[in-house]
C-alpha cells in the first residue's frame, strides 16, 4: 500500500514537472515572438538563402545610321542601414560633417545641414533604409563611394548602392511611337514587338539574405547565367525622320489638324526610313497654338476610308478584270450623277464638270463620277469579280509589318455580305465603305513603283550582340506581280500625269520647281462621324519619286483640319514635296561627282570625336593609318588625306562635359552619367550644347544638343 502511494506521488511529481516544462517552453516561445523577435529575425536573415532572378541588360535600339533611339542608362538608389553591425559610431561622428558636405556637393538636392539632420534622425530611430538618393547617376555613384565613412565599405558604413536601369530615348518624341515604350505591361512599338530579343535571358543565382534585407551571392557561379538582350538595328534614318516630322508638324500647326502621319519607304527594299505620327494635344479650340506629340501610331493602327487614293486600285481592277481600256471614253456630264438615290459629284461640278474624258483623264482629274461610272460599267452585273481582283492585288490583307498593332483592312470579300447595298460598288470605287491604314495604302503604290513587285514593309534590318550580327532581315516579296505589265505601265503613266507640271492633274502646280518628277495621287475623303459625314475631311497624297526611276515611296495623311482648307493637293502634297526635296538634296546617290577637285582628291573617311578604345578598334579593323597620344579614354580626331590623329581629350568630371564634335551615343553616355537629362535635335555630330562646358552641375538639369 505504501509503495502504491509512493508510486502515485512520484507520478504526479513527474507530471507536474512536465506541465511546468511545457508552460516554460510555451512562455519562451511567446517571449521570442514578442520581446526578442527583431533580434532572432536579424540572426535568421543571415542564414536565409534563396534562388534569385538576375535581370540582364536590355538591348539598345539603333537607327540605320548608328544613332541611338533607345538605351538603358544605369541609375543608383542610395540608402543607409543604421543597423549594420560593423558600423563604428565614433568614426561616424568624426566623419559626419565632411560626409554631409560631400553628399550636398555631389547630389546637389539638399544642403549639408539637411543631410546631417536626415542621418541623425535615421540613426536615432534605428532605421534600416534611410533614403539618400533615388536616382544617382553612374558618375555620382563613383564619387559617393569615395566619400569619408562611405569608403569604409558596405558593412562598416551601412551605405548601399542598388543599381537599376532606366530606358531613355535620346531623340525624345522623334519617332517616339515607332520606337515605343518599355514597361512591364502593354509595351508598344519596337520595344514591344522585339521585346523577346531586347530583353535577353534572366539569370538565376543562389543568394543569401544579409543585414538590412539585402541579398548577396553565395558564390560567383550562376544556376542560369544572365544573357544581355540583343541590339535591334532599325531601318529608320534619323535625318529623314527629323525632316518628315518637322514638315508634318508645320502643316498640322498651320491648319490646326487633329492628327497626321508620314511614311517614307525605299521602293526596292521596303525599308521604312521615316515614320512620323503626330496627334493634337486637346481638341484644338484653345486660343493658343496647338501642340503635337507622338501618342499613337496612326500609320499602322488607324484604318480609315482612304478616299481618292483608292482609285488606283479601282481602275487597276477595271483594266485587269473588267475589260476597260486606258483610252475608253467616259461621259461624266456636268459632274453630278445619282446612283440608287445617292448623289455623287465631282469637285468642279459647280463649274460644269469635265464632260467626255478618257480613263487616264478620269484619274488625273480625280473624277469621282468618272471612276464610279467606270466600275459600274465593268462590274455592275458581276461585283464579285471586282472584289476578287482587289484581293489579288493584296489590298484586302494587312502588310504583316513586324510591328505590333497593325489594323486589319476592312474590304468586302463577298458581294452581298454585311452592309453591302446597291451603292456599295460605286462607293468602293472612290474609296468609301472600306478602310485601310496609311501603310497598307502605301504598299500598293510602292508595288507600282517597284514594277509590280509588292514587298513587305521592313522596320528592322538586323539584331546584333556586341557588334556581331545575330540575325539579318532581308526584303520579303509578298506578291511577284500585282497586275499585268500593260496595266502596270498604264498605272505608272496615270500616276505621273497627276503631278505633271505641264498637265491638268490635281497636283499640277505642287512640284513645278522640283528638279525631279513625282508620280502619285491626291486624296480628299469625308470623315464619318456618329451622325454620318458632317463636313470634316481627311487629306492625303501617296506616290513615289523620281517618277522615271523610283527610289522612295511616301504617303502623307492629315485629318480634320480647322483652317477651311482640306484638299489633298493643298494639305498633304506640300508635306510630301518638303520631304522629297530634302531627300533629293541630301542623298549623294542622286548626284554623281565625276569631275572637279572633289572627284580627284583622296581622303580618309572622317570620324566623330569619342571613345578612344572604339575608334582604335575601328581604324585597326579597316587597316587605316592613325596615331594616338595621351592616356585619356576620350579623344579628338583630325583626319587628313593619309592619316588620322587621335589626340587626348580631357572630360570635365565636376562640371558639364564638353561633348561637341561627338556622336550622340558617346555624348549621351557622358551627359547621362553626369546626371543630366538630354534632349537631342537633328542627327549626326553634336554641334552645340545648351549648357556651356564646365558649368557647375545642378540637380534635374536638362541639356539640349543640336546635331548636324
| pLDDT tens-digit series, residues 112-153 | 999 999 999 999 988 888 999 988 888 898 999 999 999 998
pLDDT exceeds 80 at position 343: yes
pLDDT value at position 614?
85
Listed residue (451, 420, 454) closest to 434, CA to CA: 420
How buried is residue 185: exposed, middle or buried, by Cβ count under 10 Å (0-12/13-18/19+)?
A: exposed
- At 315, is the pLDDT very low, low, confident or very high (cuts 50, 70, 90)? very high
**Ranges 235-239, 556-560, 687-691: which has the least confidence:** 687-691
In this chain, the answer to whether the domains covering 51-229 and 238-589 adopt an identical fold is: no
CB atoms within 10 A of CB 343: 9
pLDDT value at position 322?
92
**214-233: pLDDT as tens digits:** 666 666 677 887 888 999 99
pLDDT value at position 254?
92
Contacts of 487 (CB under 8 A, 6+ apart): 316, 319, 320
**261-271: pLDDT as tens digits:** 999 999 999 99
pLDDT value at position 599?
45
Contacts of 335 (CB under 8 A, 6+ apart): 345, 346, 348, 349, 351, 352, 353, 354, 367, 369
Q: Global pTM?
A: 0.75
Which has more confidence, 2 or 203?
203
**Ranges 96-110, 181-195, 561-575, 599-613: which has the least confidence:** 599-613
Asked if the bond preceding 45 is cis, omega within 30° of 0, the reply is no
pLDDT exceeds 60 at position 695: yes
pLDDT value at position 619?
83
Strand partners, 639: 644
Reported in sequence order, the residue ranges of 406-518 that DSSP labels E, i.e. its strands, are: 454-455, 460-465, 468-472, 477-479
Mean pLDDT of the region 462-475: 93
Q: Is 414 helix (H, G, I), strand (E, B) or coil?
A: coil
- At 436, is the pLDDT very low, low, confident or very high (cuts 50, 70, 90)? very high
CA 214, CA 207: separation in Å to the nearest integer?
A: 10
DSSP state of 184: S
pLDDT exceeds 50 at position 649: yes
pLDDT exceeds 80 at position 443: yes
Listed residue (150, 137, 109, 311) closest to 672, CA to CA: 137
**Ranges 208-212, 589-593, 608-612, 696-700: which has the least confidence:** 208-212
Mean pLDDT of the region 449-456: 97
pLDDT value at position 596?
47
CA 311, CA 321: separation in Å to the nearest integer?
A: 15
pLDDT exceeds 70 at position 597: no
Which phi and psi angles does 312 have, rounded to 5°? -60, -50
pLDDT value at position 486?
96
Contacts of 328 (CB under 8 A, 6+ apart): 358, 359, 374
Mean pLDDT of the region 60-83: 89
- Element at 409 (helix H, strand E): none
CB atoms within 10 A of CB 486: 12
51-229 folds as Penicillin-binding protein 2a (Domain 2) (3.90.1310)
pLDDT value at position 215?
66
Listed residue (253, 244, 308) closest to 277, CA to CA: 244
* Cα separations in angstroms, 186 against 71, 171, 177, 628: 19, 22, 13, 48
pLDDT value at position 595?
47
Measured N-to-C along each axis, helices 485-498 and 311-321 cross at an angle, to the nearest 10 degrees, of 150
Where is mean pLDDT largest: 64-73, 131-140, 329-338?
329-338
Mean pLDDT of the region 200-222: 70
Chain mean pLDDT for the chain: 88
User: Domain spans of the chain?
Assistant: 51-229, 238-589, 601-707
pLDDT value at position 41?
62
As assigned by CATH, the class of the 238-589 domain is alpha beta
Query: CA torsion 47→48→49→53, rounded to 10°?
Result: -140
pLDDT value at position 598?
40
CB atoms within 10 A of CB 675: 22
Reported in sequence order, the residue ranges of 500-551 that DSSP labels E, i.e. its strands, are: 519-529, 532-545
pLDDT value at position 226?
81
pLDDT exceeds 60 at position 680: yes
Distance in Å from the first CA to the final CA of the chain: 114
pLDDT exceeds 60 at position 434: yes
Q: Is 570 helix (H, G, I), strand (E, B) or coil?
A: helix
Q: What angle do CA 111, 115, 119 make, to 5 degrees?
A: 170
pLDDT value at position 604?
65
pLDDT value at position 600?
46
pLDDT exceeds 70 at position 693: yes
**481-497: pLDDT as tens digits:** 999 999 999 999 999 99
Place of cell 578612344: 612
Amino acid at each position: 500500500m505504501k509503495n502504491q502511494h509512493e508510486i502515485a506521488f512520484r507520478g504526479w511529481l513527474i507530471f507536474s514537472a512536465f506541465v511546468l516544462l511545457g508552460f516554460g517552453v510555451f512562455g519562451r516561445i511567446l517571449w521570442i515572438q514578442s520581446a526578442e523577435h527583431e533580434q532572432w529575425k536579424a540572426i535568421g536573415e543571415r542564414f536565409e538563402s534563396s534562388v534569385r532572378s538576375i535581370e540582364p541588360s536590355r538591348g539598345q535600339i539603333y537607327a540605320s545610321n548608328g544613332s541611338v533611339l533607345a538605351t538603358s542608362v544605369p541609375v543608383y538608389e542610395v540608402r543607409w542601414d543604421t543597423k549594420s553591425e560593423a558600423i563604428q559610431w565614433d568614426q561616424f561622428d568624426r566623419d559626419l560633417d565632411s560626409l554631409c558636405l560631400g553628399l550636398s556637393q555631389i547630389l546637389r538636392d539638399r544642403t549639408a545641414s539637411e543631410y546631417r539632420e536626415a542621418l541623425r534622425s535615421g540613426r536615432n530611430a534605428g532605421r534600416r533604409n534611410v533614403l539618400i538618393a533615388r536616382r544617382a547617376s553612374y558618375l555620382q555613384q563613383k564619387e559617393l563611394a569615395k566619400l569619408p565613412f562611405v569608403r569604409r565599405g558596405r558593412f562598416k558604413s551601412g551605405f548601399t548602392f542598388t543599381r537599376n536601369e532606366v530606358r531613355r530615348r535620346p531623340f525624345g518624341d522623334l519617332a517616339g511611337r515607332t520606337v515605343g515604350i518599355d514597361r512591364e505591361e502593354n509595351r508598344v512599338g519596337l520595344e514591344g514587338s522585339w521585346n523577346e530579343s531586347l530583353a535577353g535571358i534572366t539569370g538565376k543565382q543562389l543568394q543569401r539574405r544579409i543585414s538590412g534585407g539585402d541579398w548577396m551571392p553565395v558564390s560567383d557561379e550562376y544556376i542560369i547565367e544572365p544573357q544581355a538582350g540583343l541590339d535591334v538595328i532599325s531601318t529608320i534614318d534619323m535625318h529623314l525622320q527629323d525632316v518628315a516630322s518637322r514638315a508634318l508638324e508645320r502643316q498640322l500647326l498651320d491648319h490646326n489638324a487633329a492628327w497626321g502621319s508620314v511614311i517614307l519607304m525605299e521602293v526596292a527594299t521596303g525599308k521604312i526610313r521615316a515614320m512620323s505620327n503626330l496627334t493634337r494635344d486637346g481638341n484644338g479650340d484653345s486660343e493658343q497654338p496647338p501642340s503635337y506629340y507622338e501618342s499613337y501610331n496612326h500609320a499602322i493602327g488607324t484604318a480609315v476610308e482612304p478616299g481618292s487614293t483608292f482609285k488606283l486600285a479601282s481602275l487597276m481592277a477595271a483594266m485587269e478584270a473588267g475589260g476597260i481600256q486606258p483610252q475608253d471614253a467616259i461621259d461624266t456630264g456636268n459632274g453630278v450623277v445619282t446612283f440608287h438615290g445617292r448623289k455623287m459629284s465631282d469637285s468642279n461640278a459647280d463649274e460644269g464638270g469635265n464632260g467626255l474624258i478618257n480613263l487616264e483623264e478620269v484619274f488625273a482629274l480625280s473624277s469621282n463620277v468618272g471612276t464610279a461610272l467606270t466600275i459600274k460599267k465593268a462590274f455592275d452585273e458581276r461585283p464579285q469579280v471586282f472584289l476578287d481582283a482587289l484581293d489579288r492585288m493584296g489590298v484586302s490583307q494587312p502588310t504583316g509589318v513586324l510591328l505590333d498593332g497593325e489594323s486589319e483592312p476592312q474590304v468586302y470579300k463577298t458581294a452581298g455580305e454585311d452592309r453591302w447595298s446597291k451603292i456599295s460598288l460605286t462607293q468602293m470605287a472612290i474609296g468609301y465603305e472600306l478602310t485601310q491604314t496609311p501603310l497598307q495604302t502605301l504598299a500598293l503604290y510602292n508595288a507600282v513603283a517597284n514594277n509590280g513587285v509588292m514587298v513587305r514593309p521592313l522596320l528592322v534590318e538586323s539584331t546584333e550582340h556586341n557588334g556581331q550580327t545575330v540575325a539579318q532581315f532581308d526584303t520579303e516579296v509578298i506578291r511577284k506581280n500585282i497586275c499585268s505589265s500593260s496595266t502596270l505601265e498604264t498605272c505608272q503613266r496615270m500616276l505621273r500625269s497627276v503631278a505633271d507640271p505641264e498637265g491638268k492633274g490635281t497636283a499640277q502646280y505642287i512640284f513645278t520647281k522640283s528638279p525631279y518628277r513625282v508620280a502619285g495621287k491626291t486624296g480628299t475623303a469625308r470623315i464619318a462621324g456618329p451622325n454620318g459625314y458632317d463636313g470634316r475631311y481627311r487629306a492625303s497624297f501617296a506616290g513615289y519619286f523620281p517618277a522615271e526611276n523610283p527610289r522612295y515611296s511616301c504617303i502623307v495623311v492629315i485629318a480634320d483640319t480647322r483652317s477651311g482648307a482640306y484638299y489633298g493637293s493643298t494639305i498633304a502634297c506640300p508635306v510630301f514635296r518638303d520631304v522629297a526635296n530634302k531627300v533629293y538634296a541630301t542623298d549623294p546617290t542622286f548626284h554623281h561627282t565625276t569631275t572637279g577637285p572633289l572627284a580627284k582628291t583622296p581622303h580618309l573617311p572622317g570620324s566623330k570625336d569619342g571613345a578612344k578604345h572604339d575608334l582604335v578598334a575601328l581604324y585597326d579593323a579597316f587597316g587605316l593609318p592613325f596615331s594616338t597620344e595621351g592616356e585619356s579614354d576620350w579623344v579628338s580626331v583630325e583626319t587628313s588625306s593619309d592619316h588620322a590623329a587621335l589626340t587626348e581629350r580631357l572630360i570635365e568630371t565636376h562640371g558639364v562635359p564638353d561633348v561637341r564634335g561627338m556622336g550622340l551615343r558617346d555624348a549621351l553616355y557622358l551627359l547621362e552619367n553626369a546626371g543630366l537629362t538630354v534632349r537631342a535635335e537633328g542627327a549626326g555630330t553634336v554641334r552645340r550644347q545648351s549648357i556651356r562646358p564646365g558649368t557647375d552641375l545642378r540637380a534635374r538639369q536638362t541639356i539640349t544638343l543640336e546635331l548636324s
